[in-house]
Amino acid sequence: MEEKMPRTVENVKKMINSVHKNTLVGEKMDFYNKWADTYDQDVAILEFHSPIEAAKSANVHYQGDRAEARVLDVACGTGAVAKHLRACGFERFVGIDGSTRMMEHANRSGLYQELKISILGKEPLPLPKDSFDLVVIAGALSVGHVPVNAIRELCRVCKPGGFVCMTSRCGEDNLEYKADLEAEIKKMKEEKLWTKVAVSQVEKWEKATTSDSYISGTVYFYKKS
C-alpha cells in the first residue's frame, strides 16, 4: 500500500482486493499494520456498515444492564464497534485483534479497559470461558480471514444467557464461506449451544470492490444456552 496514494473509491477497492488475495496470516497482519493509519477513512469511503449494524442489532436485542455488561470486541480493529456500542449505553470493553498497529489506534480511542493480541482461528482466544455478557465480531467472518469453526470460541467465552453478535458480507466471493458459516451456526444450535434471537439482512452493506453497486450483508444475533 502506498501511504501517499490518493484516498479514492477505486484505489481503496484495489487495496481491499489485494488483502482478500493474501492467504498467509503473517502477510495479512502486515497488510493491516500498514493500513491502520488510513483504515477509518478508507472504510468510510466504501460505506462499510458492519460495525454500526452490529451495534444496532445489540441495541435492539440485548437484554440486561448495558453499563455493567462485559463486552468482547473480536477483531476490534481501530475500535469502530466499541464506538457505536458506547453510544448504545455499553461501557466495559475488551478488544482482541491480530494487528499491533490497529490495536494502537483502538487504545487511543480510550474505549477499552483491556486489549489483547490474538488471531482468532489460529489460536484459542486468550480468555476464560463464560466471561462476557456480549461477544461481537463485525467484519472478520469472511473468506480468507477467520475460519467458520472459530465461532465456537466466541460461544465458549460468552456467559450462559449472554449474547453473540456476528456479521458476514454477501459478496459473490464470500457466498461459499457464508453458507459454511450458516451451517456451523445451525449445527451449534442443534447441539444446544445457543438459540437464535434474530438474523437480519442489510441491503446496502458496503460498496462492492468489483463493481459500482453495493453488496448486502447479514447480522446474526444468538443467545448462549
CATH number, position 77:
3.40.50.150
pLDDT of residue 1: 41
Looking up cell 467465552, which residue turns up? 157
Together in a domain, 133 and 215: yes
pLDDT of residue 150: 96
pLDDT of residue 19: 66
Together in a domain, 55 and 156: yes
- Residue 115 pairs with which residues in a beta bridge? 95
How many structural domains does the chain have? 2
Query: What is residue 164's three-state secondary structure?
Result: strand
Quote the DSSP letter at residue 107: H
Q: How many CB atoms lie within 10 A of CB 100?
A: 12
Cell of 109: 480511542
pLDDT of residue 2: 42
Together in a domain, 132 and 36: no
Instruction: Report yes or no on 119 lying in a domain.
Output: yes
Together in a domain, 37 and 92: no
Together in a domain, 90 and 166: yes
Instruction: Report yes or no on 19 lying in a domain.
Output: yes
pLDDT of residue 23: 60
Instruction: Report yes or no on 3 lying in a domain.
Output: no
First to last CA, the chain: 44
What is the pTM assigned to this prediction? 0.92
pLDDT in tens, the chain (225 residues): 444 556 777 777 777 766 666 567 778 888 889 889 998 998 898 899 999 999 999 999 999 999 999 999 999 999 999 999 999 999 999 999 999 999 999 999 999 999 999 999 989 999 999 999 999 999 999 998 899 999 999 999 999 999 999 999 998 989 999 999 999 999 999 999 999 999 999 999 998 877 778 999 999 999 999
Domain extent for 23:
9-45
Together in a domain, 26 and 102: no
Q: Are 82 and 71 in contact (CB under 8 A)?
A: yes
Together in a domain, 149 and 90: yes
Instruction: Report yes or no on 2 lying in a domain.
Output: no
pLDDT of residue 21: 61
Together in a domain, 85 and 140: yes
Strands of 109-213, DSSP E: 112-117, 132-137, 158-169, 194-207
pLDDT of residue 12: 76
Together in a domain, 119 and 212: yes
Instruction: Report yes or no on 201 lying in a domain.
Output: yes
